[in-house]
Amino acid sequence: MNYFTHLNCPKCSSTYEKEKPVNLCKCGSPLLAEYDLEKARNFVKESLQGRENNMWRYRELLPVVDTENIISLGEGFTPIFPFQSLGRELGLRNLFCKDEGLNPTGSFKARGAAAGISRVLELGIKEIAMPTAGNAGGAWASYGARAGIKTHIAMPLDAPEITKTECAVAGAEVYLVRGNIADAGKIIGEGAKKYGWFEVSTLKEPYRIEGKKTMGFEIFEQMKWDPPDYIFYPTGGGVGIIGIWKAIKEMEQIGWIEGEKKPKMVAVQAEGCAPIVKAWETGKEFADPWEDPHTLAAGIRVPRALGDFLVLQALRESGGAALAVSDEDILGAMEKTARSEGMFICPEGAANIAALEKMVARGQINPEDRVLLLNTGAGIKYAEVLKYGFPVLEKTARL
């Protein structure tokens, strides 16, 4: 049974029918999918036993009413690895990493694309459009191709080359923009008005977040319902943090985690683009747009997040934190993780490790604390960033 009932505005409390395509609330806020959580108490966690190891194991709390409309490439249920060597180096006994780079299309964006495209198909929408700095475009293009839905994507010129190619090879109409993701967003907005495309920009539709929230379900289930003390998440548009926190609150309401502790959420950004961090440090409810955003971690180069207030709310409610790290520290963390744990993580995932090092040095994380890092993508998709900090690649070997 599916418990999806309607869409709700977290800002003005307006509600919308689930049967109609809708982007934002009339007040300009993102909309959230809501469920009959009282009835969903019949969906007990024991029923997960024996289900498929992908995100659709939680289908009762996902917004696709008819399972025939599910478009899947096997996304979700990514593994959680202990980081023992890196943990020892940092003085932590319980350090873990959930590797979202093992998703289809190489990043956690596959979750949002799977939920979003499945719902788009269910609503009868034929063409979608979005701006992207990289991985989201590749994911939505791939899932759109599988569903037979036409995809229009605008990307900054300096987006990773592999993701530009990924979008194009999946048949998307790709528009390269001289500017950042906000500039790409303006172009998509104009195109949507002119041609009637359905916009699936970050939080401009209600369903991407539902795919991302399955990370929250999985973390609790995979850690045997004993969650970590901290979850570190690289934050651009912030959908991952919003989604994980939404999942935690839903699990609490349906009785899956009655009385259990909840993790502290930590938002990590780059020093060259840190609007959430600045808002957090100054106690603001909303983040001001970031002027001249720059960082080699393209996925967190977002000058203004539409759901900024929801990210900040999750940080406050969880007792979490927000901090920014330098590109130099990000590169160092990529190398350190590869050499200590054998994992080639993405720059955004490496930002978490750089932030963790800062918090450990400040005494904010204790040796016994259980810490989970989210690596949001496969490092191999960012091979071009290596030229910034790995001169070892220039060496040649002689036999």
Domain ranges for the chain: 80-107+209-388
Give the tens place of pLDDT for each residue, 44-54. Answer: 999 999 999 99
State whether residue 20 is helix, strand or coil: coil
* CA 78 – CA 80 distance, rounded (Å): 7
Q: What class has domain 80-107+209-388?
A: alpha beta
pLDDT in tens, 354-394: 999 999 999 999 999 999 999 999 998 887 776 665 554 45
DSSP 354: H
* b (16+ CB within 10 A) / e for 145-176: bbbebebbbbbbebbbebbbebbeebebbbee
Q: Side chain identity at 173, as an amino acid letter?
A: E
Per residue in 87-134, pLDDT tens?
A: 999 999 999 999 999 999 999 999 999 999 999 999 999 999 999 987
For the whole prediction, is pTM greater than 0.75?
Answer: yes
Please state the φ and ψ torsions of residue 99, each to the nearest 5 degrees: -95, 95
Q: How far is CA 186 from CA 78, 141, 181, 193, in A?
A: 34, 19, 9, 11
Average pLDDT over residues 255-265: 89
Indicate if the pLDDT at residue 35 is higher than 50: yes
Q: What span, in angstroms and rounded, lies between the C-alpha atoms of 241 and 382?
A: 23
Polymer length in residues for the chain:
399
Q: Lay out the sheet containing 198-199: strands in order across.
A: 173-177, 150-156, 127-131, 198-199
